[in-house]
Structure 1
Amino acid sequence: MKLHKEGFTILVVTAIILILINLGIHYLLPDGHWIPRLVLIGSIIIFFLFAQFFRVPARNVHKSDRQIVAPCDGRVVVIEEVVENEYFKGPRRQISIFMSPLNVHVNWNPVSGVIQYFKYHAGLYLVAWHPKSSTDNERTTVVIRTVEGIDILFRQIAGAAARRIRWYIKEGDKVEQSTEMGFIKFGSRVDIFVPLDAEIKVNLQDKTVGSVTVLAELK
C-alpha cells in the first residue's frame, strides 16, 4: 500500500504541527509528567488517521467492456430510475455510492472509452446523502463513451466536509477501466447513471470496492 500524492502536503503540515505541539509541551512540563506521553500517543493516532485516509491499496482488477465497475469505495445508498437533465435529458438508472471518511478516496474510471463530456460545477456543500447534493453541491460531471458507443455518466460530488475535488482527465482523453481518474478529500459521494436495460449487480447498502465491484452489466 502507498500514500496518494494528494495527501503529501497535508501529511507534512500535520506532522510539523504535531511535532511542535509535542516539543512545546515537553519543554513546559517537568520530566516524568504524564501529559507529554498522552499527547504523544494522541498525536500518533491523529497522524495515522490522516495517513489511512490517503492510502492507495493494491488491487487485482479485471476489465470487461460489458461491465461497469464501482468508481470508488463506499456503500450503495441509491438505486433508482431518474431523469438526468444535464447530459442525457432523459431517464437513466442512478446508482449512488456514499464515501465515509474511513474509505479509500481515490476515484477510478468505471468503464473504458473516450471522455465525451466533462464539466466542473461550483456549488453548495450539503451532506453527501442529501437528495439535492447530486444537483446542488460542488461536483464534476464525466461522460465516457464505451467502445460499443454507450455513454456512461458519473459525478464526483463534494460533501459537507469534502471541499477538494480533484480530477486527472479531460474531454477527448482515452481512458481504461479501473484506472485512476481523480480524488475527493474527506467524505463524499459518487453517482453513476447507466442505461435502463443494464442489469444491476448490487443492492442497497452493499459495500463497494472501487475498481473491483461490478455495479451493472450492459446488454
Structure 2
Amino acid sequence: MPGELLDNHGRGDASWSLPSIHPEGRKFGLIALGISLIFLLLLDWDLIGWPLLALSAGVFAFFRDPERVVPQSEGAIVSPADGLVTLIAEVEPPEELQIDDGSGIAGLPAGPVTRVSIFMSVFDVHINRAPIGGVVRRLVYLPGRFLNADLDKASEENERQHIMIERADGVRIGFTQIAGLVARRIVPFVKVGDTLGVGQRVGLIRFGSRVDVYLPAGTDSKVLLGQRVIAGETVLAEIGTRKLIEGIAQ
C-alpha cells in the first residue's frame, strides 16, 4: 500500500498495481477519447477513429503516475526523473540559482559541479520528483526556445524552470526542468517555502523533455552515461562521495 515502509530485508508488503493517471492528464485523455468515439460511433469513420482511439490510450499512458519506493538513506540524492542519462559534465550551476535574489537566502555556491542530465522520451513517466527532502528556496521560470533536449545548449536556451531545495543541515541541491522539441509546458506542483520529502512529486513536463541535476561540490555521480534511471528510486549520488565508476555497454 502507498506509504508503507519497505526494506532490503524483505519487510513490508509489495504488489503490482495499475498506475494511476495524474489529474493533469485526464482531461487530455478524455478529449482524445471523446473525439475518437465521435468518429467511430457517430460518423462511422473507422480509418480515423481507431488511430485516434490508440492515441487516446497513449495520452493516458503518458500521464501515468506510478507509486515509487523512495530510498531513505541520509546522504542519498535520488533521480528526479525517469529516463536516460545522456550527459554528465563539470559545469557552473545556472546563474539564476547562484545570484542574490533578494530573499536573504543564499543560492548555490559558485564553482564547477557535476551536472547529470536525464532525457525523458514520450514513453517515459513524466512526473518529476524531489531529489532530496527539504524546503523549496527558489523556483525560477524562464521562457526560451524548444531545441532538442538532448543538446547541451538546451540547458541555457530552452524554456526551463530552476528549482533549489535546501535540507535542514544546509545542503542545497539545484535541478532544472527543461522543455524539448515536443514539450511545450512545464507544470509545477510546488511553490517557494514548501517543505518536501525526498521523492515527493514536484511537477511534470508535457510530452518529452529533460531534467538537469546539479550535485553539490565534492560529490560525483553514481550513475553512468547511457544508464536508465527511475524517478524517486535510482540513487544518483551520495552527498560528499567521490569515486570513478565505469561501465561497458553490452
TM-score (norm 1): 0.90
After TM superposition, list the pairs within 5 Å mapping 1:19-168 onto structure 2.
19-26=37-44, 36=46, 39-86=48-95, 87=98, 88=108, 89-168=110-189
CA spacing shift, 1:124–1:40, aligned 2, 3 Å? closer
Moved over 3 A (4+): 38-41
Instruction: Report deviation, 1:62.
Output: 2.3
Unaligned runs of 5+ in 1: 27-34
Instruction: Report deviation, 1:8.
Output: 1.4
| Residue type of the alignment partner of 2:91 | V
Quick one: higher RCO (CA 8 Å, sep 6+), 1 or 2?
1
Q: Is the 8 A contact 1:82 1:94 kept in 2?
A: yes
Deviation per CA, 1:74-117: give whole Å up to 9, x if none: 00011111112412342111000000000000000000011121
Q: Is the 8 A contact 1:65 1:146 kept in 2?
A: no
Q: Is the 8 A contact 2:39 2:49 kept in 1?
A: no
Instruction: Report deviation, 1:57.
Output: 1.2
In the alignment, what sits opposite 2:191? 170
Deviation per CA, 1:154-201: give whole Å up to 9, x if none: 000000110110112122211110010101110000000012311321
Deviation per CA, 1:123-177: give whole Å up to 9, x if none: 1111111211111111111111122211100000000110110112122211110
What is the percentage of aligned positions where both structures have the same residue?
37
Structure with a larger share of its residues in strand: 1
More displaced 10-residue stretch of structure 1: 140-149 or 177-186: 140-149
Instruction: Report deviation, 1:204.
Output: 0.2
In the alignment, what sits opposite 2:208? 187
Distance 2:148 2:205 in 1: 14
In the alignment, what sits opposite 1:217? 238
Distance 1:168 1:44 in 2: 29
In the alignment, what sits opposite 2:25? 7
Instruction: Report deviation, 1:61.
Output: 2.0
